[in-house]
């Protein structure tokens, strides 16, 4: 090898993390202005919009997620503007940072640059397209991988403190998955005989949590946050979320679904071949516990996309196991063939998604010029509502929280979504009263308010049409008349208040 080639290889190895991060960002850029779904992303965008208008989280509007995700998005939009492209640019940055730290963790675990880069980019590509969106799971994965990097970097000054802060932030974005990260690193440090690092880890995490608690106390919402984030989520969230493992899978997600069975096979084979080598692997307990946190963290709704969100947590363990197999000379050709097939499974859907995003029609919205791919009528509805006077108040029913953000209209209710067995009868009743009191218009997404839709998306739901839902919808059509139909949407104009009908909803 010539000196130039040697220097070039050294440069690539030295800057491999940056290259992986840039490639990860490039895979998400084609979707920066494209709207695919009207549901979960809107929870975060609409909440940030409310906060920028002066409303206080947990006091003026209801949310059951912890506060850090909302604060990050609101802060970003305060600096860079409340457009969809601005919000998506944040997620491009999150994707790049996550890829950088995932690569770094895989490299520490395996000692192999190309293997680490391949696994990281495979995971990144599998999540782009429809799921290039503002989502708390992406934030949680980013903080989780930063935490793991800190835990694996014992020799780096401040690594343990970084692990504590990042793990705490993960829990303050997504409670259950972030909590698993906190516990897995704690237990990993103990099992890997690094308990001397625990005081710094604990103090750093508690300091981060104390800052967030201080914010809630300053806003006077600490009690409300506990009631909504902890009590409400425990009582009402999990009941309707159960689905079969890997539900709603597509070709793009198949490598992510194969991740945990592959790890199980490789781990069993490695233990059988030479269990001492496995146990001698650097911080093997932390790697195993982190992979387990990714798996368990996909519950209570372990569908394909939730598995993919958390799959990065298992990649360092997979990298370590593959490196051991390759060092032992076992089936390098098989590994290469598996890698080619996995990249094909993710790359082909990604290319189709890029083509769909490029061909999507542009729509002028209050959040800027966007491209819209969802169901029939979405684009015309966004354009129509965005052109209305800004003072008009529009209630969106039942589960389209991205529409208030895209149209710039005030949503005159404390909650964004009304879903049977997730929303309480009291929430249906209170929301009904708020609508009758101040809404000028109601948008009904007819397609996703039917029992058939709920049974398909929430198969664990026992009654998709409870009494409170039926009475609520009856009250809407008594107080508002149909102005026009736009594809799957009904646009209703205010006629007369019928608050008495709301009182018929029993708590």
Q: Is residue 411 domain-shared with residue 498, that is, in the same domain?
A: yes
- At residue 274, the pLDDT reads 84
Task: For residues 313 and 291, give the distance between their C-alpha atoms in angstroms, rounded to a whole number.
Answer: 5
Q: Is residue 38 domain-shared with residue 143, that is, in the same domain?
A: yes
Q: Which of 355, 388, 417 is the last residue of a domain?
A: 355
- At residue 2, the pLDDT reads 62
Percent of the chain with pLDDT over 90: 84
Task: For residues 200 and 207, give the distance between their C-alpha atoms in angstroms, rounded to a whole number.
Answer: 10
- At residue 402, the pLDDT reads 97
**Closest to 152 (Cα-Cα) out of 141, 144, 163:** 163
Indicate whether 198 belongs to any domain.
yes
Q: Is residue 346 domain-shared with residue 421, that is, in the same domain?
A: no
Task: For residues 385 and 469, give the distance between their C-alpha atoms in angstroms, rounded to a whole number.
Answer: 25
Q: Is residue 307 domain-shared with residue 452, that is, in the same domain?
A: no
Q: Is residue 391 domain-shared with residue 316, that is, in the same domain?
A: no
pLDDT of 7 strictly over 80: no
Q: At which residue do the structure tokens 């940056």 appear? A: 18
Residue 10's pLDDT band, with cuts at 50, 70 and 90, is confident
- At residue 328, the pLDDT reads 67
Q: Is residue 326 domain-shared with residue 467, that is, in the same domain?
A: no
- At residue 8, the pLDDT reads 63
- At residue 1, the pLDDT reads 53
Task: For residues 382 and 43, give the distance between their C-alpha atoms in angstroms, rounded to a whole number.
Answer: 17
Average pLDDT over residues 137-164: 94
- At residue 336, the pLDDT reads 78
Q: Is residue 99 domain-shared with residue 196, that is, in the same domain?
A: yes
pLDDT of 333 strictly over 90: no
Say how many CA atoms lie within 13 Å of 163 toward its Cβ.
29
Q: Is residue 450 domain-shared with residue 304, that is, in the same domain?
A: no
Say how many CA atoms lie within 13 Å of 364 toward its Cβ.
4
Q: Strand, helix or coil at 410?
A: strand
Question: 442, 492 in Cβ contact below 8 A?
Answer: yes
pLDDT of 166 strictly over 70: yes
**Closest to 48 (Cα-Cα) out of 147, 139, 148:** 139
From 3-7, 54-58, 62-66, 142-146, the region with the lowest mean pLDDT: 3-7
Q: Is residue 163 domain-shared with residue 274, that is, in the same domain?
A: yes
Residue 376's pLDDT band, with cuts at 50, 70 and 90, is confident
Percent of the chain with pLDDT over 70: 97
Q: What average pLDDT does the chain have?
A: 94
Angle at the Cα of 124 from the Cα atoms of 119 and 130, rounded to 5 degrees: 150
Q: Which two tokens stand for residue 81?
A: 């503007």
Paired sense of beta strands 480-486 and 441-445, if any:
unpaired
* CA dist list (Å): 447 to 90, 377, 444: 31, 11, 9
**Distance between first and last Cα of the chain:** 77
Q: Which of 355, 390, 406 is the last residue of a domain?
A: 355
Residue 383's pLDDT band, with cuts at 50, 70 and 90, is very high
CATH of the domain at 423: 3.40.50
Average pLDDT over residues 309-321: 97
From 54-68, 89-103, 265-279, the region with the lowest mean pLDDT: 265-279
Paired sense of beta strands 441-445 and 394-397, if any:
parallel
- At residue 364, the pLDDT reads 96
Indicate whether 371 belongs to any domain.
no
pLDDT in tens, 264-293: 999 998 899 888 888 877 789 999 999 999
* CA dist list (Å): 227 to 65, 178, 221, 272, 417: 11, 19, 10, 49, 18
Average pLDDT over residues 225-232: 96
- At residue 327, the pLDDT reads 79
Q: Which residues, other chains included, contact 329 with Cβ-Cβ below 8 Å and sequence gap of 6+?
A: none
| Overall number of domains in the chain | 2
Where on the phi/psi map is residue 246: left (φ > 0), alpha (ψ -120 to 50), or beta?
left
Range of the domain at 467: 376-503
Q: Is residue 280 domain-shared with residue 348, that is, in the same domain?
A: yes
pLDDT in tens, 465-502: 999 999 999 999 999 999 999 999 999 999 877 778 89
- At residue 162, the pLDDT reads 97
């Amino acid at each position: 090898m010539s000196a130039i080639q040697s220097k070039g290889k050294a440069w690539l190895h030295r800057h491999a993390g940056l290259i992986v991060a840039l490639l990860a960002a490039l895979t998400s850029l084609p979707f920066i202005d494209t709207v695919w779904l009207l549901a979960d992303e809107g929870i975060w965008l609409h909440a940030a919009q409310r906060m920028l208008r002066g409303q206080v989280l947990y006091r003026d509007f209801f949310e059951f997620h912890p506060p850090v995700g909302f604060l990050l998005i609101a802060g970003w939009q305060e600096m860079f503007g409340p457009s969809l492209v601005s919000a998506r640019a944040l997620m491009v940055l999150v994707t790049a940072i996550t890829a950088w730290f995932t690569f770094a963790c895989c490299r520490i675990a395996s000692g192999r640059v190309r293997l680490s880069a391949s696994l990281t980019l495979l995971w990144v590509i599998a999540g782009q397209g429809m799921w290039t969106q503002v989502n708390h799971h992406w934030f949680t994965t980013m903080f989780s991988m930063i935490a793991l990097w800190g835990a694996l970097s014992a020799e780096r000054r401040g690594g343990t403190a970084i692990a504590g802060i990042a793990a705490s932030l993960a829990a303050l974005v997504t409670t259950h998955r972030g909590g698993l990260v906190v516990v897995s690193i704690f237990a990993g440090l103990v099992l890997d005989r690094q308990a001397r690092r625990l005081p710094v880890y604990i103090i750093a995490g508690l300091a981060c949590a104390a800052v967030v608690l201080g914010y809630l106390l300053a806003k006077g919402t600490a009690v409300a946050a506990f009631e909504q984030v902890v009590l409400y989520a425990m009582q009402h969230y999990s009941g309707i979320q159960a689905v079969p493992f890997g539900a709603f899978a597509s070709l793009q997600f198949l490598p992510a679904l194969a991740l945990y069975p592959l790890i199980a096979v490789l781990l069993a084979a490695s233990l059988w071949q030479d269990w001492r080598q496995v146990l001698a692997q650097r911080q093997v307990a932390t790697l195993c516990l982190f992979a387990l946190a990714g798996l368990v963290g996909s519950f209570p709704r372990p569908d394909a996309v939730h598995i993919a969100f958390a799959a990065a947590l298992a990649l360092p363990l997979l990298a370590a196991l593959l490196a051991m197999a390759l060092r032992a000379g076992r089936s390098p050709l098989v590994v290469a063939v598996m890698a080619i097939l996995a990249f094909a499974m993710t790359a082909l859907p990604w290319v189709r998604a890029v083509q769909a995003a490029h061909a999507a029609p542009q729509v002028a919205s209050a959040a800027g010029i966007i491209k819209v791919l969802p169901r029939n009528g979405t684009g015309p509805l966004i354009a129509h509502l965005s052109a209305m006077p800004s003072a008009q108040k529009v209630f969106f029913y039942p589960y389209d929280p991205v529409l208030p953000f895209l149209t710039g209209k005030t949503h005159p209710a404390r909650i964004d979504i009304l879903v049977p067995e997730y929303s309480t009868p009291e929430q249906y009743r209170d929301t009904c009263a708020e609508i009758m009191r101040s809404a000028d218009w109601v948008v009904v997404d007819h397609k996703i308010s039917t029992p058939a839709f709920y049974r398909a998306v929430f198969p664990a739901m026992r009654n998709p049409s409870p009494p409170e839902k039926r009475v609520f919808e009856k009250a809407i059509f008594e107080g508002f008349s149909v102005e026009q139909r736009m594809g799957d949407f009904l646009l209703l104009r205010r006629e007369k208040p019928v608050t008495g009908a709301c009182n018929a909803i029993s708590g």
